[in-house]
């Protein structure tokens, strides 16, 4: 018979990643870092926490092996330790979507009513990109665009979109995307474009899912 204490220690270690993610703010950090490397200061703004609190959460994720850190001058930058971490986060979301009864209500309370938004699947967007008859807008922050984006996408951060409407072909079909299904940037972009009389749709999910499907991506500004 195997030593049960050894088995218990093994399963405790196997559960460490889940334990590290069993906190909403740390889950938010993983969601943001799925877009690319960010500094502690930037991450603190993203999750609406102090730098000290954000650092504590990042240290917990670091101890669990989910993130890695590097220092550049006086600043510390974090990134996911491997693509498997992003896969783990997406899997956790899918399980919650299937089994947490109030999740749909909570999602609507945050992102609003999406029933009036046009959407486009990844496969549809891939075909439209091949045909060259679509304008793709990456409405995430510039740092995330530089870390990786859909090939051919134009960086127009959501805060700049209204001022840059005239740069977008008024006769083109426009598809906006952001971080994923729980990101509101693309929703805001589609609503703004529709108000301006543009033919606009939101990609059904976001950049991490596009990259995970091994569809064409680019890096750099």
Asked, for residue 158, whether it belongs to a domain, the answer is yes
Asked, for residue 140, whether it belongs to a domain, the answer is yes
CATH, residue 23: 1.10.10.10
**Tens digits of per-residue pLDDT, 177-205?**
999 989 999 999 999 999 999 999 999 99
**Residues 207, 132: one domain?**
yes
Q: How many domains does the chain have?
A: 2
Question: Catalytic residue numbers?
Answer: 178
220: pLDDT confidence band, cut at 50, 70 and 90?
A: confident
Identify the weakest region by mean pLDDT among 29-38, 103-112, 132-141, 202-211: 103-112
Three-class SS of residue 141? coil
Query: pTM here?
Result: 0.85
Closest CA to 62 of 48, 73, 49, 76: 76
Closest CA to 176 of 188, 159, 164: 188
Which pLDDT does position 2 carry in this prediction? 64
Identify the weakest region by mean pLDDT among 57-66, 111-120, 153-162, 171-180: 111-120
Domain that holds residue 141: 109-218
**Residues 118, 75: one domain?**
no
Three-class SS of residue 174? strand
Cα 144 to chain center, whole Å? 9
| Final residue before a domain boundary, out of 55, 89, 123 | 89
Statement: residue 1 has pLDDT above 60: no
CATH, residue 156: 3.40.250.10
């Amino acid at each position: 018979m195997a030593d049960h204490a050894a088995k218990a220690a093994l399963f405790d270690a196997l559960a460490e990643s889940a334990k590290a993610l069993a906190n909403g703010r740390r889950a938010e950090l993983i969601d943001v870092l799925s877009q690319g490397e960010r500094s502690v200061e930037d991450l603190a703004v993203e999750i609406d926490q102090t730098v000290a609190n954000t650092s504590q959460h990042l240290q917990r994720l670091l101890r669990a092996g989910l993130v890695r850190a590097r220092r550049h001058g006086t600043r510390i930058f974090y990134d996911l330790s491997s693509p498997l971490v992003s896969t783990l986060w997406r899997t956790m979301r899918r399980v919650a979507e299937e089994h947490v009864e109030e999740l749909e209500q909570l999602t609507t309370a945050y992102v609003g009513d999406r029933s009036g938004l046009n959407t486009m699947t990844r496969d549809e967007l891939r075909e439209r990109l091949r045909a060259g008859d679509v304008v793709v807008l990456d409405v995430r922050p510039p740092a995330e665009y530089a870390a990786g984006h859909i090939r051919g996408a134009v960086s127009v951060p959501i805060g700049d979109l209204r001022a840059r409407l005239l740069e977008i072909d008024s006769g083109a079909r426009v598809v906006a995307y952001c971080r994923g299904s729980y990101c509101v940037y693309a929703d805001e972009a589609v609503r703004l474009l529709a108000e301006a009389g543009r033919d606009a749709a939101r990609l059904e999910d976001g950049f991490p899912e596009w990259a995970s499907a091994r569809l064409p991506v680019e890096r750099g500004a």
